[in-house]
Amino acid sequence: MQMNASSIVNQKAEWEKLGVKLPAFDHAAMTAATKEHPIWVHFGAGNIFRGFIAALQQRLLNEGAADRGIIAADTFDYDIIDKIYTPYDNLTMNVTLNPDGTTSREIIGSVAEGLRANSADAEMMARFKQIFTDPSLQMISFTITEKGYALYRPDGSLMPVVQADIDEGPAHARHAMSMVAALLLERFQNGAYPLAVVSMDNCSHNGEKLQASVMTVAKAWLEKGFVGQDFIDYLSDETKITFPWSMIDKITPHPSETVRAALEELGVEGMNIFQTNTGTRIAPFVNAEVTEYLVLEDAFPNGRPPLEKAGVYFADRATVEKAEKMKVGTCLNPLHTALAVYGCLLGYSSIAAEMADPDLKALVEHIAAEGLKVVEDPGILSPRKFIDEVLNERFPNPAIPDTPQR
């Protein structure tokens, strides 16, 4: 069996025999509608996007709560688009690693296009301009890691690529933040339509970081004469452009050879693991844990998909920040970090194996107990239940190829 747009339509029975859940919507119709009037572009086409965010939109499509999907883009690692999007018609084999050691498989078909955000590619940039000038576009989102927003070197000077972007102007943008600023300029110049610019990266105050980087580039272009003050005013007007904050949590490790072999044995072809030019391990499949959380600040000036129907929490900024602090400050990251450090020192090769060590298990249980004394309850998530899930389901899951070294 080969994963492509034809097989999910013409070989449904065969896929079902393999225990693979298929999209329950008209994939061709979704693709056509999304390309004609897009609502959502996502930058950062890697594992957490394919195994979590794209799966959220698939749930809405399956339920008839949406008729359009997502356009995926990458500003840095073009091999992702060329090797695991285009050859598979933008489909992903999503393998869920259940706590009991079993797996569940679903083909995610909510991505309508995979694009390379490369200013040197005239055809690609023409397509991006079409997308960003469409009034229907509601949101652009990001999973590009915290370093994707960085503009400065450790000595405080701008990175050379950012300085070049500033000097050469919007038409030659290369850095992700410059590219976003340039595309927002296109939207401003062709109707000044509203848009939400949403970081979904795993870092505190992510929306603030994204906003600061975009505004830094835009204001530098103002000083150079490439844009006017009216563009800065557009970016600063929250009735037009917003930068919502978010909290995201889902473990999506690098593709596992064990999962690849199991898919091959099942009869699924072409599930090879690649290494991109930047050294990233990618595959047409994603292996991920069951647990997932996404909390979004509800600030979408042009509307949004009803993602609450797919399990997303919407809240005000203060609540999002509390949820992020709960995870990063007390209930997850300190525990994960402790296991990472001691796991490396003691020669462990998996987080699950560490949880079978009574001393290490006692250590993280103690850290968790101390954290609960000081955590601020965000109200939408229970810190106690969150920690119990971490200690009893997530970390001990032997199927998760998560290493302390990672």
Per residue in 81-131, pLDDT (tens digit) is: 999 999 999 999 999 999 888 999 999 999 999 999 999 999 999 999 999
Residue 383 exposed, middle or buried by CB count within 10 Å (0-12, 13-18, 19+)? buried
Per-residue pLDDT, averaged over 138-162, amounts to 97
pLDDT at 215: 98
pLDDT at 284: 98
Long-range contacts of 314-318 (CB under 8 A, 24+ apart): 315/378, 315/380, 317/244, 317/245
> Are 207 and 244 contacting, i.e. CB atoms less than 8 angstroms apart?
yes
pLDDT at 278: 84
Q: Is the dihedral of CA 358, 359, 363, 366 positive or negative?
A: positive
Query: Band of the pLDDT at 279, cuts 50, 70, 90?
Result: confident
Q: Is the dihedral of CA 263, 253, 140, 186 positive or negative?
A: negative
pLDDT at 402: 86
Record the tokens describing residue 132, joined without a space. 């960003």
Cα distances (angstroms) measured from residue 319 to each of 248, 378, 380, 381: 13, 6, 8, 10
Neighbours of 145 (CB within 10 A): 15
CA distance 185 to 218: 9
pTM above 0.85, yes or no: yes
Q: Mean pLDDT of all residues in the chain?
A: 96
Considering the chain, what percentage of its residues have pLDDT values greater than 70?
100
| pLDDT tens string 172-216 | 999 999 999 999 999 999 999 999 999 999 999 999 999 999 999
